[in-house]
Amino acid sequence: MTIWVPQLSGDGPRYRQLATAIGHAIESSELAPGTRLPPQRRLAHALGVTVGTITRGYGEAERRGWVEARVGSGTYVRAGSRRPAFSHVSATRDDDGVTDLSLALPPADTERDAALARALAGIQGDPRALAHALDYQPEGGLDAHREIYARWMTDLGLPVDAGELIIDQGGMNGIFLALSALGGRVAAERLSYPGVISVAGQLGLRLVGLDHDADGLAVDALAARHDQQPFDVLYVMPEHQNPTTARLDEARRRALVDFARERDVWIVEDGVQHLASAERGTPLYRLAPERTVYLFSVSKILAGGLRSGAMRVPPGLRERVATVVRNVSWMPPPLIAAVVGQWIASGDADRQLARQFDELEARRRMVEDALAEFSPCTRAGGFYAWLALPPGQRASRVVERLAEARIRVNPAEAFCVGSEAAPQAIRLCFSAARDRAALADALVRIREVLAAPAPSAWQTI
């Protein structure tokens, strides 16, 4: 009788390799929901490891939510088990009394609906623009739309030429297009945006976890990591890392570019979380234009439902990206790009961005004041705070207790790349609360949960 025997990656402790292999097998449907995992002794013999290694591997997979141990029966794949999910969907901003601080949504803007109405009226009043918006267009988008994006990005301190841009359908679509065109093995910080983890999994691309610290990506360790496990693409958020809020200083940026040139690595620079010019460093695409794809989107500025953005793509990569656009959606939706163009041209986008920065700063100060004793990491213009939990507190339990208090946040585990254990930390998106009053109420409840004594050992058995 044959049993399922995984292929271990060789990266990290064997028990974690086993847990990761279980997760990959579930994602690829190699292990279906309800499947019983092999008996520990038989799998230990097949892999040439100790029974203790299998026990720890199964335990790690259970901790990650993929399997469940049944006393006297064995370990089984949970129904519907997959890598810990990260939902991008929220029905409303405070649904049924639940304050959802799990999503990086732009703060509500009372002027947004009027701005949308003006943008739609502008298109309707221009028969030529309306005709273009309803017709087939080139894969990279209309010249007029790319020119509007280029002018606005340049005004925002991100100088680009229209000929460098490809219109896409927002940041997630930009990641998908970039990784589809580039292929190969992808590296990202060990805690990184769940979107890149999801896209890499969808495309069957292996992810390499990179070390980072309070100042962002540990650039001095890149060469050694590349020697150990070579990668072709490096995904990075240098201005406002998700979830830690870290920002790369200028020295690290230049060292990163030197490394990428030396090892012939592509850079995907995610700039979707837009910050004011004073809060940003030199864009990587300005330091290494020949090997950097830059992602810009209006989802975090104007509205999440406007699935539109722009990719700054090096000339040598442009046709490969355009081919992916053709194969996936034929073209970016010109009607949406036209709405965004009107929004920008009218000046409404600039006014909305200014209001957003003011609102975010007010909310950031609320978080800093309310949770000062827990030293939250925030950044001016950012949407979220990163909180390392007090000693003895576990993120899973804190998330559960906050859910009981009708508050949603994300644990560090949702952002994990590779098999490293997640730190005991949470991310809370203060931008997502309906208003400041809702945020103030949520912060009181969050502080109460964090300040409560950690459960004693006998309580957690």
What's the pLDDT tens digit per position in 354-369? 999 999 999 999 999 9
Task: For residues 210 and 192, give the distance between their C-alpha atoms in angstroms, rounded to a whole number.
Answer: 10
Claim to verify: residue 297 and residue 194 sit in the same structural domain: yes
The domain that contains 60 carries what CATH number? Answer: 1.10.10.10
Claim to verify: residue 401 and residue 285 sit in the same structural domain: no
Mean pLDDT throughout 135-158?
93
Claim to verify: residue 164 and residue 231 sit in the same structural domain: yes
The number of folded domains in the chain is: 3
Claim to verify: residue 289 and residue 164 sit in the same structural domain: yes
| Residue at 301 is within a domain | yes
| Residue at 7 is within a domain | no
| Residue at 329 is within a domain | yes
Q: Closest Cα to residue 353, out of 115, 97, 99?
A: 115
pLDDT confidence of residue 457:
39
70: which strand partners?
74
Other residues' Cβ atoms within 10 Å of the Cβ of residue 267 = 22
Task: For residues 100 and 438, give the distance between their C-alpha atoms in angstroms, rounded to a whole number.
Answer: 10
The separation between CA 351 and the C-alpha centre of its own chain, rounded to angstroms, equals: 27
| Residue at 326 is within a domain | yes
Element of type H or E holding 398: helix 395-404
Query: Which region holds residue 7: left if phi is over 0, alpha if psi is between -120 and 50, else beta?
Result: beta
Token pair, residue 289, equals: 């234009």
DSSP letter string, 144-196: HHHHHHHHHHHHTT----GGGEEEESSHHHHHHHHHHHH-S-EEEESB--HHH
| Residue at 258 is within a domain | yes
Claim to verify: residue 272 and residue 406 sit in the same structural domain: no
pLDDT tens digits, one per residue of 196-217: 988 988 888 888 999 999 999 9
| Residue at 145 is within a domain | yes
* pLDDT for residue 81 is more than 60: no
As a whole number of angstroms, the longest Cα–Cα distance in the chain is 74
The domain that contains 344 carries what CATH number? Answer: 3.40.640.10
Type of residue at 376: P
DSSP letter string, 220-280: GGHHHHHHHS--SEEEE-SSS-TTT-----HHHHHHHHHHHHHHT-EEEEE--S---GGG-
pLDDT tens digits, one per residue of 219-271: 999 999 999 999 999 999 999 999 999 999 999 999 999 999 999 999 999 99
Q: Which residue has the tokens 């656009």?
A: 325
Claim to verify: residue 167 and residue 245 sit in the same structural domain: yes
Structural domain of 160: 112-348
